[in-house]
Chain A
Amino acid sequence: MFGWSELTPVLPELIILATACTVLVLGLFTTSEKGGLLVLTSIAGVIFAAIATAKSHMGTHELIKQVLFNGNFVRDYMGDILKITVYFIMLFVFIYSKQYLRNKNIFKGEFYALMLFGLLGIMIMISGYNYITLYLGLELLALSSYALVAYDRDNTASNESAMKYFILGAIASGMLLYGMSMIYGATGTLQIDQINMAISQSNNSMLIVFGLVFILVGVAFKLGAAPFHMWVPDVYQGAPTATTLFISSAPKIAAFAFAVRILAQSLEGVFDQWQHIVAVIALLSIIIGNLFALQQTNIKRLFAYSTISHIGFMLLGFLGGADGYSASMFYIITYALMSVAGFGMIIVLSCKGFEAEKISDFKGLNQRNGWFAFMMLLIIASMAGFPPLVGFFSKLYVLKAVVDQGFYVLAGIAVVFAVIGSFYYLKIIKVMYFDESESDQEITAGFDVKSILSFNALLQLALLLFIPSILNYCIKAIDTL
């Protein structure tokens, strides 16, 4: 039995759970016009959760690491940093998605309830300290995501992609569970630190490696890394943009935490076995992501392939030791902020009855609205990793960690494909700045969305000043794992 003292550390999760239930009930009584209340409730819930999370780090004694519920759950520095980032991203997601749902006439309370349940799943994935807890978080997030992808139920593309996502996701979950059971068989435990200990003492590495491969497949699928990336473009394209906005940002952070907990914390002992697999997955992702993105005409699909390549870059960091994990963490945090801004821009440019899905919909944006063209320029340049934007520094840090370990060829291939990748980003800039506009449609987005988006894009520049402190957080987070 656990008392109140055990419940305080999970206060953020409880708040999100309560908010999700409240929004679910409220949604029954609110119409689309009065939907602002739902958004406000969700935002309030996330802000309270953020306060509850941050509170543990205020004052004299600082929270370093706290294992709860018989070793099923952990509150640590990394988890809290990632959770705060996720809250931040969710605020963007809530604000951007409102307008989109209204335009498409699919504004319902369930959307926000599902997102909040997804957020809860993310938080559990970040804080799980036992394979089963991690798996439960993962499934909570996945089930919410399936429903969110299928949310636009009269749209066949949305349904098709949800179906694909569900079937492939279920297979991946199966693989993951199978792998976990192997590890359990070899070590006799599912708890992360105990697995780590058991591996260092056991000599039954055959079974462990066997399980490891299945686990890696599951992790790679959830991250959307090649060669398990097939679902990413279809889901990104088919899902309503508000959903894509969500699944392209916050869950990536959860998947990072999931990978760190499993690979770095529990399977650290078999690093020599998994480093080659991860290297191949990372390289394949970078290569496939960048090459396929060159061909795309749909911007959501393009972003999907670009996500794959970014995930590859992030995975490269896993080869770089402790420095590498903090590099990956920095990478995924900055990437999630870029990605949410990129999809936010698509939402802002869409309006009633029209979705800015094709790259050609960005034509002549500079003439239509110079400010948003500039914002998009910042986002795209940051994704492409052009200095002085923050995307460059996250790549730099990963490359540094990789070169540090002597993987020169890997680093070389990664930068060559970064150059190839720059071409499709340039194509978007080209379309915005050099081409003539095809429509002179006004940008109808509300002031709130516009200002938040501008803030989000300007973050790509403003974060330059905060790189040292964010990096220090990441380094500390990995050190205190």
Chain B
Amino acid sequence: MNSWSLLSLLIWLPIIAAFAILALGPNRAGLAKMFAMLTAVLTLVLSIPLWQGFDSSTAAMQFVENVSWIPSLNINYHLGVDGIAMPLIVLTTFITVLTVLSAWKVISKNVHQFMAAFLLLEAMMIGVFCAQDAMLFYVFFEAMLIPMFLIIGVWGGPNRVYATIKFFIYTFFGSVFMLIALIYLYMKGGSFAISDMAQISLSLTEQIWIFCAFFLAFAVKIPMFPVHTWLPDAHVEAPTAGSVVLAAIMLKIGGYGFIRFSLPITPDASSELAGIVIALSLIAIVYIGLIAMVQKDMKKLIAYSSISHMGFVTLGIFIAFALVAKGGDTNMALEGAMVQMVSHGFISAALFLCVGVLYDRMHTRMISAYGGVVNTMPLFGAFFVFFAMSNAGLPGTSGFVGEFMIILSSFQANFWFAFLSALTLIFGAAYSLWMVKRVVFGEVKSEAVSQLTDMTKRETFILAVLAVAVLGLGVYPEPLIDVMRVSVQHLIEQITISKV
């Protein structure tokens, strides 16, 4: 089945291309762009056999590659995907194509470095989702910080240095404790393989310490209240393409980390501390939703909305423990979290791209600078309204599916959890639609707005593709859920068995 090392190809192709693009030098920007586009498309095409060849009837790792890397530390180059990782890899390759396309005309400074950084980032993110060796995971997890640091810092807005250093230090600080936890687990079990780590029996105290170390890493990444403050800054200062990748994929790594590490390795601690995580998630959903409402900057608003939506992901993951105790539909909670991650990948990417479209024309992101955009940009207006609706969780769009699944399963756990999380349907609608109302509708606000030109073919294409994805996932999410069903089932078996 695995004669041609598909996963390695997915990881190494962008890396090699990135170095080739770097070697092109600053004077051949057009060639660099073409080359980057080619690589991104090729990677996307390569992920089709990944989807096609994936066997959704088993929870075992597929497309496995396992080569010894550092024998004296027992670190292996061990790749593989299951139903949880596979959709996220496809999401990554898909979004990367769109980001490369979105940066086509916008970036004029050091184009080759920009493209190389994006391809490196793509490779690292695919690597994170494939890695079955904890140390390999950690290497990819950390290595993606440097390209992102440069993307925000070199091509970002006026306050970019502050934002990017904050981003870096937050995420770096979060993850180093995970490193110690991983080393500790290695000492206990003698292996860095994630699946072996899940087998080690640990006392509750040990589990709680390890859980906290993991939690710090992933909560910063996803990000959860109260360690979310780096995200709005990073989003506001990042170039559009950077924001898109950050929101659409990098945040998902936090959620993926919870599912891959925290739940199977420390099930008892997760169960013990699920209440705290659920509380933090609900705070994120409600409180951050309210904060989003008062934002004046569109990107900041979407950033806060991302945090609020990520609250659903953590809620879905940890409500599973409450459901295990009560005997509810645990699968639905975890599947809902996964669907929410993929769906948010599409929607947040689309929203940031919409803001990018406006920003490229007006060079401001302030809501107050706009008004009546629909009069000059009808096509854009339509897309923007559509994506804002899906962000608010309109039925028929992908935003609805995940949220609804999670709200339903939290209803089984506790009425008040469901009540609080359902508030997002109101708050989400409020901040999304209010933003749309102020930006798109109403009187033409200024001379500048009246001179706006509608979207180019390139921009329309990007948003149309995303709109199709959002609608497709919203109307018929079954293929996605089908892929992950068995893997989620396996995960639930792992978390219901106590390790103490």
B187 engages A404 (CB within 8 Å): yes
Q: Counting CB contacts under 8 A, is A36 at the interface?
A: no
Residue from A387, A404, A471 within 8 A of B72 (CB atoms): A471
Measured CB to CB, the nearest residue on chain A to B26 is A370
CA distance A408 to B160 in the complex (A): 36
Q: Across the interface, which residues of B come within 8 angstroms of A467, CB to CB?
A: 69-70
Question: Known contacts A366-B110, A468-B72: does B180 contact A408 (CB below 8 Å)?
Answer: yes
Residue from A370, A399, A404, A433 within 8 A of B179 (CB atoms): A399
Q: Across the interface, which residues of B come within 8 angstroms of A433, CB to CB?
A: 150, 153-154
A386 engages B179 (CB within 8 Å): no
Query: Which of B38-46, B136-144, B443-451 is found at the contact surface with chain A?
Result: B136-144
B177 engages A415 (CB within 8 Å): yes
Query: Which of B29-37, B165-173, B277-285, B398-406 is found at the contact surface with chain A?
Result: B165-173
B179 engages A475 (CB within 8 Å): no
Q: Across the interface, which residues of A come within 8 angstroms of B113, CB to CB?
A: 366, 370
Query: Which of A75-83, A235-243, A419-427 is found at the contact surface with chain B?
Result: A419-427
Q: Which of B178-192 contact A (CB under 8 A)?
A: 179-180, 183-184, 186-187
Measured CB to CB, the nearest residue on chain A to B142 is A387
B26 engages A415 (CB within 8 Å): no
Interface of B is mostly: helix
B180 engages A412 (CB within 8 Å): yes
Q: Counting CB contacts under 8 A, is A397 at the interface?
A: yes
B73 engages A400 (CB within 8 Å): yes
B69 engages A370 (CB within 8 Å): no
Q: Counting CB contacts under 8 A, is B149 at the interface?
A: yes
Q: Across the interface, which residues of B come within 8 angstroms of A468, CB to CB?
A: 68-72
Q: Counting CB contacts under 8 A, is A178 at the interface?
A: no
Report the minimum CB–CB distance from A333 to chain B (whole Å). Answer: 15
Report the minimum CB–CB distance from A317 to chain B (whole Å). Answer: 14
Q: Counting CB contacts under 8 A, is B22 at the interface?
A: yes
- Chain B 50-72 interface 0/1 with A at a Cβ cutoff of 8 Å (1 = within): 00000000000000000011111
B145 engages A370 (CB within 8 Å): no
A429 engages B149 (CB within 8 Å): yes
Residue from A399, A423, A472 within 8 A of B180 (CB atoms): A399
Residue from A381, A403, A422, A475 within 8 A of B169 (CB atoms): A422
Residue from A374, A426, A471 within 8 A of B165 (CB atoms): A426
Measured CB to CB, the nearest residue on chain B to A377 is B146
Q: Counting CB contacts under 8 A, is A55 at the interface?
A: no
Report the minimum CB–CB distance from A241 to chain B (whole Å). Answer: 27
A397 engages B150 (CB within 8 Å): no
A374 engages B135 (CB within 8 Å): no
Q: Counting CB contacts under 8 A, is B161 at the interface?
A: yes
Q: Counting CB contacts under 8 A, is B176 at the interface?
A: yes
B186 engages A400 (CB within 8 Å): yes
Measured CB to CB, the nearest residue on chain B to A370 is B26
Q: Which of A123-161 contact B (CB under 8 A)?
A: none
Question: Known contacts A386-B143, A387-B143: does B72 contact A419 (CB below 8 Å)?
Answer: no
A423 engages B72 (CB within 8 Å): no
- Chain A 443-481 interface 0/1 with B at a Cβ cutoff of 8 Å (1 = within): 000000000000000000000000110011001000000
Report the minimum CB–CB distance from A224 to chain B (whole Å). Answer: 25
Query: Which of A96-104, A280-288, A341-349, A388-396 is found at the contact surface with chain B?
Result: A388-396
B165 engages A423 (CB within 8 Å): yes
CA distance A467 to B489 in the complex (A): 39
Question: Known contacts A418-B176, A419-B169: does B184 contact A374 (CB below 8 Å)?
Answer: no
Residue from A374, A422, A434, A472 within 8 A of B161 (CB atoms): A434
Q: Counting CB contacts under 8 A, is A276 at the interface?
A: no
CA distance A393 to B172 in the complex (A): 16
A393 engages B70 (CB within 8 Å): yes
Q: Counting CB contacts under 8 A, is A416 at the interface?
A: yes
CA distance A386 to B153 in the complex (A): 18
A386 engages B142 (CB within 8 Å): yes
Report the minimum CB–CB distance from B110 to chain A (whole Å). Answer: 7
B139 engages A392 (CB within 8 Å): yes
CA distance A381 to B149 in the complex (A): 12
B139 engages A415 (CB within 8 Å): no
Report the minimum CB–CB distance from A68 to chain B (whole Å). Answer: 31
Measured CB to CB, the nearest residue on chain A to B168 is A426
Q: Across the interface, which residues of A come within 8 angstroms of B395, CB to CB?
A: none
Q: Counting CB contacts under 8 A, is A411 at the interface?
A: yes
B70 engages A386 (CB within 8 Å): no
Measured CB to CB, the nearest residue on chain B to A427 is B165
A386 engages B146 (CB within 8 Å): yes
Q: Across the interface, which residues of B come within 8 angstroms of A352, CB to CB?
A: none
Residue from A370, A388, A392, A393 within 8 A of B110 (CB atoms): A370
Q: Counting CB contacts under 8 A, is B25 at the interface?
A: yes
CA distance A123 to B373 in the complex (A): 75
B172 engages A419 (CB within 8 Å): yes
Q: Across the interface, which residues of A come within 8 angstroms of B110, CB to CB?
A: 366, 370
CA distance A419 to B174 in the complex (A): 9
A386 engages B145 (CB within 8 Å): yes
A434 engages B73 (CB within 8 Å): no
Question: Known contacts A366-B110, A386-B145, A434-B160: does B183 contact A374 (CB below 8 Å)?
Answer: no
A423 engages B169 (CB within 8 Å): yes
A396 engages B135 (CB within 8 Å): yes
Residue from A370, A393, A422, A475 within 8 A of B168 (CB atoms): A422
Measured CB to CB, the nearest residue on chain A to B150 is A433
A381 engages B146 (CB within 8 Å): yes
Q: Counting CB contacts under 8 A, is A430 at the interface?
A: yes
A434 engages B72 (CB within 8 Å): no
Q: Across the interface, which residues of B come within 8 angstroms of A471, CB to CB?
A: 70, 72-73
Q: Which of A345-403 contact B (CB under 8 A)?
A: 366, 370, 374, 377, 381, 386-388, 392-393, 396-397, 399-400, 403
A430 engages B139 (CB within 8 Å): no
B180 engages A411 (CB within 8 Å): yes
Q: Across the interface, which residues of B come within 8 angstroms of A397, CB to CB?
A: 73
CA distance A370 to B73 in the complex (A): 36
A374 engages B22 (CB within 8 Å): yes
Measured CB to CB, the nearest residue on chain A to B68 is A468
A388 engages B179 (CB within 8 Å): no
Q: Across the interface, which residues of A come within 8 angstroms of B22, CB to CB?
A: 370, 374
B179 engages A434 (CB within 8 Å): no
Report the minimum CB–CB distance from A2 to chain B (whole Å). Answer: 38
CA distance A201 to B22 in the complex (A): 63
A430 engages B26 (CB within 8 Å): no
CA distance A416 to B173 in the complex (A): 7
CA distance A13 to B475 in the complex (A): 78
CA distance A392 to B176 in the complex (A): 11
Q: Across the interface, which residues of A come within 8 angstroms of B184, CB to CB?
A: 403, 408
Measured CB to CB, the nearest residue on chain B to A411 is B180
A387 engages B186 (CB within 8 Å): no
Residue from B143, B165, B179 within 8 A of A430 (CB atoms): B165
A403 engages B180 (CB within 8 Å): yes
A416 engages B176 (CB within 8 Å): yes
Report the minimum CB–CB distance from A293 to chain B (whole Å). Answer: 15
Q: Across the interface, which residues of B come within 8 angstroms of A399, CB to CB?
A: 179-180, 183
CA distance A141 to B313 in the complex (A): 61
A419 engages B180 (CB within 8 Å): no
Report the minimum CB–CB distance from B298 to chain A (whole Å). Answer: 24
Q: Across the interface, which residues of A come within 8 angstroms of B186, CB to CB?
A: 400
Q: Across the interface, which residues of A come within 8 angstroms of B161, CB to CB?
A: 430, 434
Report the minimum CB–CB distance from A195 to chain B (whole Å). Answer: 30
Report the minimum CB–CB distance from B250 to chain A (whole Å). Answer: 16
Q: Across the interface, which residues of B come within 8 angstroms of A416, CB to CB?
A: 173, 176
- Chain B 371-415 interface 0/1 with A at a Cβ cutoff of 8 Å (1 = within): 000000000000000000000000000000000000000000000
* 3 nearest A-B residue pairs (beta carbon): A387-B139, A415-B176, A387-B142
A412-B180, A434-B164 known; 17 other A-B pairs, CB under 8 Å? A366-B154, A370-B110, A387-B142, A388-B143, A392-B142, A396-B135, A403-B183, A415-B177, A415-B179, A418-B176, A419-B173, A419-B176, A426-B165, A426-B169, A429-B153, A430-B161, A471-B70
A-B contacts, 17 listed (Cβ < 8 Å): A370-B22, A370-B25, A370-B113, A392-B139, A393-B70, A396-B135, A396-B179, A400-B187, A403-B183, A403-B187, A408-B184, A411-B183, A426-B149, A430-B164, A468-B70, A471-B73, A475-B72
